[in-house]
């Protein structure tokens, strides 16, 4: 028995130590991260300089040279933003590498702890088969007998400690997995922003070259171009505004919906339309997915089934966004709401908690059961509709987009608040203020300015 006790003690001594912490990362990794941060700070300083130049060029009297200066500043700023995004992705790569190593070490630790526990349990079952008399008769002395019994009691009490240690390691492992998933999802978002920035850079360069070609560098030609390039209300009404995952609808119709949403939520119509236009540029991953393949299996799939059943739709026939190289898709309709977000706008509640979002510490929340409650359908209330809100309907989607933007702060109607609300719409509240995402917010505000000009023309102002 003494040999057995020594063996068990060795198992505990050989088990991995405390949970691996990030402060144990090598100094080389820390230095590299600091180096990247220094580079990012410098790029952000240069972006601020270009923004000042851009503001100056735009504030000057409209001349050919001021327009060329504005194009140059815009192009340089976009180039620097792409550089900032690349540096942010490099930082995430380092953090992802660290978390992968930590997760691997935690997994190995958990496996060792489980094996130690298994061996303790096996040996305890063997010892439970012996009576105290058998142990006493097998002992060489009374003192040996009591030492053996004490050792056995100690081993039995160690089981509880082992269970607790395994539980702590399991929790740490799950937390590390979640942190890793968040970093990977953030990396995917940054790649999307980088792609948008690259497309914008190409457009900016084409517009600059087109301007130089048309005017031949002569100021008089530029002034003639300005005089003949103002849009008329008739031209604007004839344009089509493409909504993702739906047929094209006339710009005037989309504007009517957006203006109604502005009156109901406080979000400017131009900002709502700008977010939808920016989202459309996400490209081939939009609307080509299926819920069984591209949607988060435990968070969104169960809710999606309830949503489509309530609307009388076949879930297998409804278009959703395709998942990217990492993360999950499954976003619905023109506003690209994921099901677990839509429930709080479309009137769905978990019947166990009577809420649309999980309370702190809740487990299995997204599995439901779910129920539609007309009184909690926020979009339906604002539209004055008589049926459940359908995220694939253009009018519903535009109202819901304006509502989410208002919830994100766009109803303050200041440029800073609207830009931040758009960033929250895309990247969530946690990442919205990170400089690497700034291009998305700048893009939305640029589109919003264009839409605002069109709206004023249509309104005769």
Model confidence pLDDT, tens digit, residues 124-167: 665 555 555 555 555 555 455 455 556 666 666 766 677 777 77
Burial annotation 336-355 (CB, 10 A radius, 16+ → b, else e):
bbbbbbbbbbbbbbbeeeee
Specify whether the CB–CB gap between 324 and 359 falls below 8 A: no
Asked whether residue 236 is assigned to any structural domain, the reply reads yes
Last residue of a domain, one of 160, 191, 221: 221
- 135 and 246 inside one domain: no
Q: What is the pLDDT of residue 354?
A: 92
- 301 and 259 inside one domain: yes
Asked whether residue 226 is assigned to any structural domain, the reply reads no
372 has which bridge partners? 348
pTM higher than 0.75: no
Question: Which is higher by pLDDT, 179 or 261?
Answer: 261
Domain encompassing residue 175 = 2-221
Q: Minimum mean pLDDT among 51-60, 81-90, 130-139, 324-333: which range?
A: 130-139
Asked whether residue 323 is assigned to any structural domain, the reply reads yes
Last residue of a domain, one of 169, 195, 221: 221
Specify whether the CB–CB gap between 139 and 52 falls below 8 A: no
How many structural domains compose the chain? 2
Specify whether the CB–CB gap between 457 and 232 falls below 8 A: yes
Question: Which is higher by pLDDT, 31 or 298?
Answer: 298
332 has which bridge partners? 320, 337
**DSSP, residue by residue, 385-415:** -SS---TTSHHHHHHHHHHHHHHTTGGG-SH
DSSP percent split of the chain into helix, strand, coil, nearest 5:
75, 5, 25
Q: Minimum mean pLDDT among 39-48, 92-101, 252-261, 292-301: which range?
A: 92-101
Q: What is the pLDDT of residue 37?
A: 79
Question: Which is higher by pLDDT, 14 or 423?
Answer: 423
Question: Which is higher by pLDDT, 3 or 361?
Answer: 361
- 208 and 248 inside one domain: no
Question: Which is higher by pLDDT, 28 or 53?
Answer: 53
- 201 and 285 inside one domain: no
Mention every residue, 6+ apart, whose C-beta is less than 8 A from residue 314.
308
Tell me the residue ranges of DSSP E strands in 277-384: 348-350, 370-372
Tokens for 118? 């298994």
- 270 and 404 inside one domain: yes
440 has which bridge partners? none
Torsion angle in degrees (nearest 10) through CA of 405, 316, 366, 327: -70
- 251 and 212 inside one domain: no
């Amino acid at each position: 028995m003494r040999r057995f006790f020594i063996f068990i003690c060795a198992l505990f001594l050989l088990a991995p130590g405390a949970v691996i912490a990030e402060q144990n990362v090598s100094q080389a990794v820390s230095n590299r991260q600091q180096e990247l941060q220094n580079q990012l700070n410098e790029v952000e300083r240069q972006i601020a300089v270009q923004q000042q130049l851009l503001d100056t060029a735009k504030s000057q009297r409209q001349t050919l040279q001021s327009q060329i200066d504005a194009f140059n500043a815009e192009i340089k700023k976009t180039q620097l933003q792409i550089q900032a995004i690349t540096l942010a992705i490099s930082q995430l790569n380092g953090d992802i590498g660290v978390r992968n190593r930590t997760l691997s070490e935690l997994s190995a630790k958990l496996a060792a702890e489980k094996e130690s526990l298994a061996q303790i349990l096996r040996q305890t079952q063997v010892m439970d088969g012996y009576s105290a008399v058998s142990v006493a008769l097998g002992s060489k002395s009374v003192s040996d007998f009591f030492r053996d019994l004490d050792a056995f009691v100690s081993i039995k009490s160690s089981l509880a400690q082992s269970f607790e240690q395994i539980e702590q390691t399991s929790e740490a492992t799950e937390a590390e997995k979640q942190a890793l998933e968040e970093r990977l999802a953030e990396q995917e978002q940054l790649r999307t922003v980088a792609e948008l920035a690259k497309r914008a850079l190409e457009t900016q360069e084409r517009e600059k070259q087109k301007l130089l070609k048309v005017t031949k560098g002569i100021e008089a030609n530029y002034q003639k171009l300005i005089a003949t390039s103002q849009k008329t209300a008739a031209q604007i009404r004839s344009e089509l505004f493409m909504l993702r995952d739906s047929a094209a609808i006339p710009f005037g119709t989309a504007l009517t919906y957006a203006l109604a949403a502005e009156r109901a939520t406080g979000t400017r119509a131009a900002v709502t339309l700008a977010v939808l236009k920016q989202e459309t540029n996400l490209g081939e991953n939009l609307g080509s997915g299926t819920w069984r393949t591209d949607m988060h299996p435990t968070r969104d799939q169960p809710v999606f089934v309830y949503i489509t059943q309530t609307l009388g739709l076949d879930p297998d026939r409804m278009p959703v966004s395709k998942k990217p190289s990492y993360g999950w898709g499954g976003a619905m309709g023109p506003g690209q709401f994921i099901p677990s977000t839509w429930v709080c706008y479309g009137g769905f509640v978990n019947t166990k908690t009577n809420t649309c979002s999980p309370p702190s510490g809740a487990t299995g929340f997204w599995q439901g059961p779910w129920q539609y409650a007309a009184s909690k359908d926020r979009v339906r209330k604002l539209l004055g509709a008589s049926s459940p809100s359908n995220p694939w309907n253009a009018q519903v989607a535009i109202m819901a987009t304006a509502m989410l933007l208002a919830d994100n702060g766009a109803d303050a109607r200041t440029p800073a608040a609207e830009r931040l609300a758009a960033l929250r719409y895309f990247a969530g509240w946690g990442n919205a203020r990170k400089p690497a995402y700034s291009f998305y917010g700048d893009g939305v505000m640029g589109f919003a300015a264009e839409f605002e000009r069109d709206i004023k023309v249509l309104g005769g102002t």
